[in-house]
Amino acid sequence: MTETSRRGVPGTHRAHGAGDPGVRTAPGWLRELAGAARQMPVSAHLRPPRAGGRASAVLVLFADGAVGPDVLLTLRSSGLRKHAGQVAFPGGSIDAGDAGPVAAALREAAEETGLDPAGVEVVGVLPELFVARSGFRVIPVLAWWWRPSPVGPADPVEVAAVARVPLAELTDPAHRLTVRHPSGLAGPAFRVRGVLVWGFTAGILDRLLALSGWERPWEASRVEELPPSALG
């Protein structure tokens, strides 16, 4: 997850004031996306059970980069017990001292990447999802990084790398594929910056790109088996 060459996302442009220092309001495209995402259908395998599971939240953080919108992603450390070496949104468990999922997502993001929550505007909360392998009930928090701050692996025990990945790279058909888990379940994936983005994180990115209208035609029929090294 290192910086690479980037190109613009078709159909996007810099909204007036978006990304300008001191201008806090999220751009219209993101507010429209937040409204649509709140109503997005949840696949059967991601629906939370009636009881059980550990409450958690992740921060889906967009910013205005040099060539258009980008999203903040982390690479989990290889020594973790679950989801080791996988790409993820910053986030984690909702602690007793957190005032809900928004506070938890911002706190976890600050602890993992060192970002300043004061420069973040939350624009929406998505439906709760369930990650069966780890038993987490996850609430994605959609936000706008109106005043980006320096980021990096603030907690090396959990995070190996941090990157702002342009949506232009994620929407490039050459970077998209379908992967099949050993269980037989198949889902969307992205291969960017030398890493494979799959599973829960790729599923959310796939839905948000489709809802935003930025998704470009890609060969979903191109299926690859998930390599054992990606399972973590």
Beta-carbon count within 10 A of 116 CB: 15
* Reported confidence tier of residue 23, pLDDT bands at 50, 70, 90: low
Instruction: From residue 214, give the alpha-carbon distance in Å to each of 38, 66, 129, 169, 224.
Output: 18, 18, 23, 12, 24
| Residue 16 resides in a domain | no
Would 1 be classed as within a structural domain? no
The pLDDT of residue 8 is 35
What CATH number has the domain bearing residue 162?
A: 3.90.79.10
pLDDT band for position 17 (cuts 50, 70, 90):
very low
Q: How many domains does the chain have?
A: 1
> pLDDT tens across 184-223, in order?
889 999 999 989 999 999 999 999 999 999 899 999 999 9
**What range does the domain containing 182 cover?**
28-230
Q: Running DSSP on this structure, what letter comes out for residue 217?
A: -
- CA-nearest of 161, 216, 224 to 188 is 224
- Between helices 28-38 and 199-212, what is the axis angle to 10°? 120
What type of residue sits at position 35? Answer: G
Please, what is the average pLDDT of the chain? 85
**Model confidence at 174, in pLDDT bands (50, 70, 90)?**
very high
Report the distance separating Cα 138 and Cα 50, nearest Å: 14
Least confident of 41-55, 96-110, 154-168, 199-213: 41-55
In a domain, 19, yes or no: no
pLDDT of residue 232: 62
Please provide residue 204's backbone torsions phi and psi, each rounded to the nearest 5 degrees.
Answer: -65, -45
pLDDT (average), residues 28-46? 86
Q: How far apart, in whole angstroms, are the C-alpha atoms of residue 229 and residue 13?
A: 38
Confidence of residue 142 (pLDDT cuts 50, 70, 90): very high
What is the reported pLDDT for 135?
Answer: 82
Q: Which residue has the higher pLDDT, 146 or 53?
A: 146
Counting residues of the chain whose pLDDT is more than 70, the rounded percentage is 85
> Is residue 18 domain-resident?
no
Q: Is residue 44 part of a domain?
A: yes
**Residue 17 belongs to some domain of the structure:** no
Q: Are 177 and 15 in contact (CB under 8 A)?
A: no
- Band (pLDDT 50/70/90 cuts) for residue 102 is very high
Share of the chain above pLDDT 90, in %: 64
Residue 51 lies in a domain: yes
User: Does residue 208 sit within a domain?
Assistant: yes
